[in-house]
Structure 1
Amino acid sequence: MTSGRSTRAPGVVVVTGVSRFLGAHVAARLVADPRVGRVVGLDPSDPVDELVPLLTGVERVRADPGSVGSIIADLHADAVVHLALATAPDKQNGGRAAMKEQNVIGTMQLLAACQRAPGLRKLVVRSSTAAYGASFRDPAVFTEDTEPRAVPRGGFARDILDIEGYVRGFRRRRPDVTATVLRFAPFIGSIAETTLTRYFAQPVVPTVLGRDPRLQFVHFDDALEVLHRSVVGEHPGTFNVAGPGVLALSQAIRRAGRIAVPVLEPGLSGAAGVARLLGFGRYSLDQVDLFVHGRVVDITRLTNEYGFTPRSTAAAFDDFIAGHPDRTVLGPTQLALAEQAILDGIRQVRATVRERS
């Protein structure tokens, strides 16, 4: 049962980014709620095959946030849920420039369309705790009112700051619309598939020498619950969404049954190369800074407003482990390749330092 202020459930909900994991699951959950009339998914791309069954009952429109124009007004949308954010650049699809175009310009144009929709009553925007950055100047715990102590290095974090700035402007122009911004900690869980889950799924996990940052996660199912409640309830404001408690990086690696390989901080790019060689993806500066400094947020405002507390960070991480039972370490050939790649990365860093000195 949804807690919070009573409100009439929206008749038409528009969800952006339904071709992706998060958007598809949110749209499916809303379709299953008899209080919601119609769910319309906006996305320029078709979903992958495994997500198609989730979208049964979702009216799909091929459009990105930047080209919605009058679609939202024509649909007489009561609520818009904006989830179409890229968290890392994709070199095959335009790299950082395309990522910023989608995140920043796309959000700006979507909000312009929302502003012109006279019947809109609710806006829910996916944000991230990356908005706080990650540096040695950080407080022990961030609240929603804490300003970043340094400009984030990562592109995604900078995009988030721009997006939230646009939402603040929208709130001033449309005070009649309930605007909810959800700053999610990194998703984790048995079915979540992210850069972070791939990081912890590696048999050999690179860490920064001398650092053991404190981390927080939010279980994917709990993220869905908060998003759902934001749509069918009345929750204006900005909220941190994370599991209570923390895990040190070393604890998380041990729980996952993996092997930690400490490297020099500049050499983490070499360790990321190992991940690419072994098929585990890539890291952005947002992830690198998180692995160096960590980040912990306060969720008091969330629990008070929603009457809901996500499961703990440790419990969410344990569910991730249960969903990834393969604990096989690297074989001799892969281990030799991994060790050599890490050593090469460290040697390159040392060579660069000598040249500059």
Structure 2
Amino acid sequence: MGKVVLVTGVARQLGGRFVRRIQRDPQVDRVIAVDAVPPEHHLGGADFIQADIRQPTIARVLAETNADTVVHMDVTGIALGSGSGSRATVKETNVIGTMQLLGACQKSPTVKRLVVKSSTNVYGSAPRDPAVFTETTPPKSLPSGGFAKDAVEVEGYVRGFARRRPDVAVCVLRFANILGPTADSPLAQYFGLPVLPTVFGYDPRLQFVHEDDVIEVLRIASHDPARGTLNSGTFNIAGDGVLLLSQCSRRLGRPTVPLLLPAVTWAGSLVRTLGITDFSPEQIRLLTHGRVVATNQMRETLGYRPKFTTAETFTDFARVRGPGLLPPEALAGAVDRIAALPFVPFPGSAGTPVTTAVTPTTAT
């Protein structure tokens, strides 16, 4: 008999795509799609069961379906069908829902593999962070709130489950910021703003992973390992390379408004109150200090090489989102001309001015 795969969070576009993809694998005999609300998209030949993972009923679903593989995708930073989302609902689904699901998996004698969709948000964003995080690098300061704190708690519960059920292969996938044609995340909403507020004096390095690569990595982690690989453990998942926030704004054709950090914090509170986007404190820290992770283990141990680089992922995202207020070429040319202007000190300024070298780049 083939595998029986249970997938949570299928009402979201990413969950629906994974359900449609995994059931095409010849090793899979049946796919059980679970969510608290019916999805608006089709799920192919999967069996949909409407169940809230925050409730004990998920244990009955596992027992009745005899699932041997559980793919937990219902860990997210934004509420379904909401611009800013209900933070309380999101936290309950992330943390309480994960606890209930893991409790059900612990009692199930048939579960042999658990795959959890996590995030590189667990590393946080701080001024003294290392240039590159590996899977074993501890954060300089643990996230104090928001989705990042949820992800830290979720991974803690998963590690506890792995100790209690050593017979279950557990794979935690820490995805960088997910972008693509159907991306729905706080960062995707931020890039959708007509003008991008930025923190004055900072140009953070950002990493992205394409939706297509997310689906493929989840599929690989859901199966028994191929020869020479190990589909268990914790893995950073991101596209090759990085982009600066300034390069992202140029490619989108959206102007930036540099603000002092207190003003950015106030602007974030305002857009959250208005329901425009979830411009949370953790996102402000990301847009201040950035975050880059190493992906050696993804290639060497998990055996996967992303099809999209960080730059290609953002290009595909920008193509679907359409042009901004300014043509990207014109915006890039204006920025380059400003950068080429000679430095002129303010009247009355003392001492030797400190200048920053600007390296010309063809990437716009």
Q: Give the structure-1-normalised TM-score.
A: 0.83
Q: 1:10–1:78: 8 Å Cα contact kept in structure 2? A: no
- Partners of 1:30 and 1:178 in 2: CA distance: 18
- Is 1:169 aligned to 2:160, yes or no? yes
The two structures, once aligned, show a CA RMSD in angstroms of 2.4
- Partners of 2:138 and 2:16 in 1: CA distance: 32
Alignment-derived partner of residue 108 in structure 2:
117
- Is 1:60 aligned to 2:57, yes or no? no
Aligned partner of 1:141 among 132, 135, 138? 132
Alignment-derived partner of residue 285 in structure 1:
281
The structural deviation recorded for 1:305 is 1.8
Matches within 5 A, 1:77-116: 77-88=67-78, 95-116=86-107
- Partners of 1:46 and 1:86 in 2: CA distance: 17
Aligned partner of 1:151 among 124, 127, 142? 142
Residues 254-280 of structure 1 deviation map (CA, whole Å, 9 limit, x = unaligned):
121110111111212443467579985
- Partners of 1:225 and 1:89 in 2: CA distance: 24
- Is 1:256 aligned to 2:252, yes or no? yes
Of residues 18-27 and 120-129 in structure 1, the stretch that sits farther from structure 2 once superposed is 18-27
Aligned partner of 1:327 among 324, 335, 354? 324
Alignment-derived partner of residue 313 in structure 1:
310
Residues 79-104 of structure 1 deviation map (CA, whole Å, 9 limit, x = unaligned):
00001123146899993333222111
Q: 1:98 to 1:211 in 2, by over 3 A?
A: same
Q: Give the structure-2-normalised TM-score.
A: 0.82
- Partners of 1:304 and 1:241 in 2: CA distance: 12
Matches within 5 A, 1:189-200: 189-200=180-191
- SS of the aligned residue for 2:183 comes to coil
- Partners of 1:239 and 1:167 in 2: CA distance: 14
Q: 1:263–1:271: 8 Å Cα contact kept in structure 2? A: no
Taking every aligned residue pair, what percent have the same amino acid on both sides? 47
- Partners of 2:189 and 2:200 in 1: CA distance: 20
Aligned partner of 2:172 among 139, 156, 181? 181
Of residues 108-117 and 85-94 in structure 1, the stretch that sits farther from structure 2 once superposed is 85-94
Q: 1:14–1:42: 8 Å Cα contact kept in structure 2? A: yes
- Partners of 2:19 and 2:301 in 1: CA distance: 23
Alignment-derived partner of residue 22 in structure 1:
14
- Partners of 1:233 and 1:124 in 2: CA distance: 12
- SS of the aligned residue for 1:70 comes to helix
Q: 2:272–2:279: 8 Å Cα contact kept in structure 1? A: no
User: Rg bigger for which structure?
Assistant: 2
Aligned residue-pair number: 318
Alignment-derived partner of residue 5 in structure 1:
none
Alignment-derived partner of residue 205 in structure 1:
196
Counterpart amino acid of residue 148 in structure 2: A
Q: 1:205 to 1:155 in 2, by over 3 A?
A: same
Q: 1:88 to 1:193 in 2, by over 3 A?
A: closer
The structural deviation recorded for 1:307 is 2.4
Counterpart amino acid of residue 203 in structure 1: P
Residues 91-144 of structure 1 deviation map (CA, whole Å, 9 limit, x = unaligned):
999933332221111101110100111011100001000000111121110000
Matches within 5 A, 1:1-40: 11-40=3-32
Q: 1:10 to 1:81 in 2, by over 3 A?
A: farther
- Partners of 2:202 and 2:105 in 1: CA distance: 44
Residues 278-304 of structure 1 deviation map (CA, whole Å, 9 limit, x = unaligned):
985231222111101100000000011
Q: 1:98 to 1:167 in 2, by over 3 A?
A: same
- Partners of 1:203 and 1:276 in 2: CA distance: 16
The structural deviation recorded for 1:327 is 2.8
Of residues 69-78 and 133-142 in structure 1, the stretch that sits farther from structure 2 once superposed is 69-78
- Partners of 1:94 and 1:10 in 2: CA distance: 38
- Partners of 1:28 and 1:236 in 2: CA distance: 23
Counterpart amino acid of residue 62 in structure 1: Q
Q: 2:72–2:116: 8 Å Cα contact kept in structure 1? A: yes
- Partners of 1:216 and 1:182 in 2: CA distance: 15
The structural deviation recorded for 1:186 is 0.7
The structural deviation recorded for 1:219 is 0.7
- Is 1:131 aligned to 2:119, yes or no? no
Counterpart amino acid of residue 58 in structure 1: A
Residues 59-91 of structure 1 deviation map (CA, whole Å, 9 limit, x = unaligned):
111112232123212211110000112314689
- SS of the aligned residue for 1:65 comes to coil
- Partners of 2:269 and 2:158 in 1: CA distance: 37
Aligned partner of 2:38 among 39, 43, 46? 46
The structural deviation recorded for 1:20 is 1.1
